[in-house]
Structure 1
Amino acid sequence: MDTTHALQTLLDREAISALIRAYCYHFDRNEPEQLAALFTPDAVVDYGPEAATLHGADAIHAAVATGLNTTFAATSHHVSNIDIRLESEDFARSICYLYAWHRYHSGAPDGELWAQYHHEFLRTPQGWKISRLTLKAAGMKDFHRRSMHPIGRR
């Protein structure tokens, strides 16, 4: 691998990792506008079988804003084990592990989620953007949903 390509690979991986962290940051700060700006205009988000699949940054913004204002009083999202695969110059995939804590407006017990984010990314003139996000759960405790997409454990 030549030095220029190796440097670009490192820069791309860091930009994508920063994008994943920014998603968590803006979600936890109740900033749906900034969160939606991380996505391509035609992005798809699948939060699980009990939630409608979201198509487009505007739908992502609307759904996240509603959830943050009516369901979640506070959240704390923690990602780790970020595995990024650069499949071409302008397309990448990743899987990362997620721990997410949720305090509910309803007064229900705090919900916990152990899960994975499965992402697809596109390089745009504005930099890397999320083009697809799928949430898959390994476990839940007092979470507001009964079923989630499984992580695919054998």
Structure 2
Amino acid sequence: MTIDDLLDIEKIKTTRHLYSHYYDGGEVDKLAALFTEDAVCEFGANYGGDWVGRKAIHENYRNFMSRYGGIFNVMHAVTNPWIMLKGPDRAIGRWYLLDLRTAEGTEDPLILFGIYDDEYRKSGDNWLIHRTRIHFLWPDRDVHPFRE
């Protein structure tokens, strides 16, 4: 592994961290810009199914955020990153997800536990999300084979 590889891995981590920050902060334009034009979000039937393309991803996130509204009413805590470079412009990664409800008056903050299963593509000097799938672990269980 080279220094450049390590720098790329850190850039990928920043992309996933910004995803959480932008989602939780209600910044849908910045959130959608973290995806490739032809990206796919696989969220299962209970969360809107597959969203294909940046435009659809933007629209679906905007609609989803408007229903659960409020800046930082939810928090996506992502931990345990595992990232593997698969070439000069492709990588895969996995993250644990703790999704928490933080709105005032919330009695039970736990929304769900899951795992993000991601594929990233390099665009210029940045790494973007090309495909993401959530494996739901709790309270509902919907786990698929992981991709390599």
Kindly provide the CA deviation profile for residues 98-138 of structure 1, in whole angstroms up to 9, marking residues without a partner as x: 0001368xx99655111000100001125111000101111
1:75 matched to which residue of 2?
A: 74
Q: Pick one of 42, 45, 48 that aligns with 1:49.
A: 45
The letter for the 2-side match of 1:35 is L
Show the 5 A alignment for 1:139-150. 139-140=138-139, 147=140, 149-150=142-143
What runs of 5+ residues in structure 1 fail to find an aligned partner? Answer: 141-146
What runs of 5+ residues in structure 2 fail to find an aligned partner? Answer: none
Q: Secondary structure at the match of 1:24?
A: helix
The letter for the 2-side match of 1:69 is S
CA RMSD of aligned residues (A): 2.1
Matched, 1:28 2:24: yes
1:133 matched to which residue of 2?
A: 132
Structure 1 or 2, whichever has the larger Rg, is: 1
Question: Are the equivalent residues in 1 in contact too, given 2:38–2:52 (CA < 8 A)?
Answer: yes
Distance in 2 (alpha carbons) for counterparts of 1:108 and 1:58: 35
The letter for the 1-side match of 2:99 is A
TM-score (structure 2 length as normaliser): 0.85
Distance in 1 (alpha carbons) for counterparts of 2:107 and 2:3: 48
Q: Secondary structure at the match of 1:12?
A: helix
Shift in Å, 1:149:
2.7
The letter for the 2-side match of 1:61 is H
The letter for the 2-side match of 1:120 is E
The letter for the 1-side match of 2:76 is H
Shift in Å, 1:95:
0.5
Fraction of identical pairs, as percent: 27
Question: Are the equivalent residues in 2 in contact too, given 1:103–1:111 (CA < 8 A)?
Answer: no
The letter for the 2-side match of 1:15 is K
The letter for the 2-side match of 1:119 is D
